[in-house]
């Protein structure tokens, strides 16, 4: 008896393999940012789910200070400068991008409502500039906490 094929979201096995290999954490920009923050003496948590009962994680977290850092990929999160829809299956990709962006907005709102400061960065930003922004936020929050 022949096995029925299941319709895949991927256009081919090569595409499917490529898409499945995309990382959801520990991307090159995240690792570069974490290395730089660590070099600067900052200690943080990785992949923290800061909200109880909500399946969302942040890339870098400073839980005591309630600072959440997310490094968004240009393709997956709709960067104005770099995102380009694929030429095939544009309906699928447009809907996928819209869902991702809606989830990003929701995550930011939920975190802010819970008292977190949310820092969203793009993967194309320079590591030093990203680290400067995070370091300033940590310094500000640490000063406010002790003062």
Q: What is the CATH number of the domain that holds 93?
A: 3.40.960.10
Residue 36: inside a domain? yes
Note the pTM of the prediction, 2 decimals: 0.81
Residue 138 has pLDDT above 90, yes or no: yes
Residue 122: inside a domain? yes
The β-bridge relationship of strands 67-72 and 117-122 is: parallel
pLDDT band at 104 (very low <50, low <70, confident <90, very high): very high
What total number of domains does the chain contain? 1
Joined together, the tokens standing for residue 46 give: 């990785």
Long-range CB contacts for residues 41-45, cutoff 8 Å, separation at least 24: 42/134, 42/135, 42/138, 44/69
Residue 98: inside a domain? yes
pLDDT band at 79 (very low <50, low <70, confident <90, very high): confident
């Amino acid at each position: 008896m022949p096995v029925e094929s299941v319709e895949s979201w991927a256009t081919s096995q090569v595409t499917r393999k490529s898409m499945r290999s995309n990382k959801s954490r520990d991307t090159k920009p995240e690792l570069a940012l974490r290395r730089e923050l660590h070099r600067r003496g900052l200690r943080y948590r990785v992949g923290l789910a800061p909200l109880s009962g909500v399946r969302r994680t942040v890339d870098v977290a400073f839980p005591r200070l309630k600072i959440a850092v997310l490094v968004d990929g240009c393709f997956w999160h709709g960067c104005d400068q770099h995102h380009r829809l694929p030429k095939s299956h544009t309906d699928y990709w447009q809907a996928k991008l819209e869902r991702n962006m809606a989830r990003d907005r929701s995550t930011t709102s939920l975190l802010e409502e819970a008292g977190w400061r949310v820092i969203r960065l793009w993967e194309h930003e320079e590591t030093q500039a990203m680290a400067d922004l995070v370091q300033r936020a940590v310094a500000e929050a640490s000063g406010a906490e002790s003062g």
